[in-house]
Amino acid sequence: MNYAIKRKKQVSAKFVPSNLGMTLENDIESTNLFYLNNQIAVIYKKPTPVQVVNVNYPARNKAKITEAYYKTPSTTDFNGIYKGRYIDFDAKETSSKTSFPLKNIHEHQVEHLRNVDKHGGIAFLIIHWKVYNKYFFLPLNVILKYWDNKESGRKSIPYDEFLKNSYEIKLNYNPRIDYLKIIDTYYLK
C-alpha cells in the first residue's frame, strides 16, 4: 500500500489557534524558531537519517530518490547553543498514566547524553504526558538513576518522580514549550 506523506507545514513563529493540534516535535521546532528569530538561542532539529539505496536522475530534473530506508539516529534529535552552552536533548511522548517506560529511550541516546554531560553540555529529555497534557524537563541525572539500575530494578520512571525531581514546562502561546526557562533557573543561575 502507498501512503502519501504530507509535506511538513512550515513552522510558523506566530501562534495561530490551528497550531494547537501540532505534535510535540512541531511544538519544539516552533519554540526553536522563536528562540532563533529573537536571537535567544540557536537550536535545531537534526534531519531524520535515511539510507539511500537508489537515485534516479531524470533529465533536467533534480535527483529523485526511489529507494531508501529510515535509519536509527546515532544521537538525539535536537542540539545547539544557548548563552555559550552546548544544549542537547530528545523529545518523547507517553500515553501511560503511571510511568514512563525506559524502552522509549534508546541505549545510544542515553550514551550520547552521558557523553554530552561529561564534556560540559546540558543534556536532558522533554517528556509529554499525553493523558495529563503535561510537559516535563527530565534532567540526565534522573534518567540515569533509573537507566543504570534497570537490569535489577524497575524498567520505567514513575510519574511521581516527574512531579518531584523533574521540572514542569507550562505550555504557552509563544514560545510553545519554553525549556530554556528551566535551564536559566536550574542550570545557569
Binding site for a second copy (CB under 8 A): 1-5, 7, 36, 39, 41-42, 44, 46-57, 62-71, 73-75, 79-86, 88, 112, 115-116, 118-121
Phi, psi angles (nearest 5°) of residue 175: -70, 145
Task: Tell me how far, at minimum, the Cβ of 118 lies from a second copy, in Å.
Answer: 7
Torsion, Cα 105 179 22 175, to 10 degrees, reads: -170
Gap between the Cα atoms of 106 and 75, Å rounded: 9
Q: Considering the complex, state which of residue 36 and residue 102 has its C-beta at the smaller distance from a second copy.
A: 36
Burial of 138 (0-12, 13-18, 19+ CB in 10 A): buried
Q: Considering the complex, state which of residue 121 and residue 158 has its C-beta at the smaller distance from a second copy.
A: 121
Task: Tell me how far, at minimum, the Cβ of 136 lies from a second copy, in Å.
Answer: 24
Q: Considering the complex, state which of residue 108 and residue 150 has its C-beta at the smaller distance from a second copy.
A: 108
The length of the chain is 189
Q: Considering the complex, state which of residue 118 and residue 164 has its C-beta at the smaller distance from a second copy.
A: 118
Q: Are 169 and 176 in contact (CB under 8 A)?
A: no
Task: Tell me how far, at minimum, the Cβ of 42 lies from a second copy, in Å.
Answer: 5
Task: Tell me how far, at minimum, the Cβ of 153 lies from a second copy, in Å.
Answer: 27
Q: Which of 27, 32, 36, 45 is nearest to 172 (CA)?
A: 27
Q: Considering the complex, state which of residue 157 and residue 175 has its C-beta at the smaller distance from a second copy.
A: 175
Task: Tell me how far, at minimum, the Cβ of 164 lies from a second copy, in Å.
Answer: 29
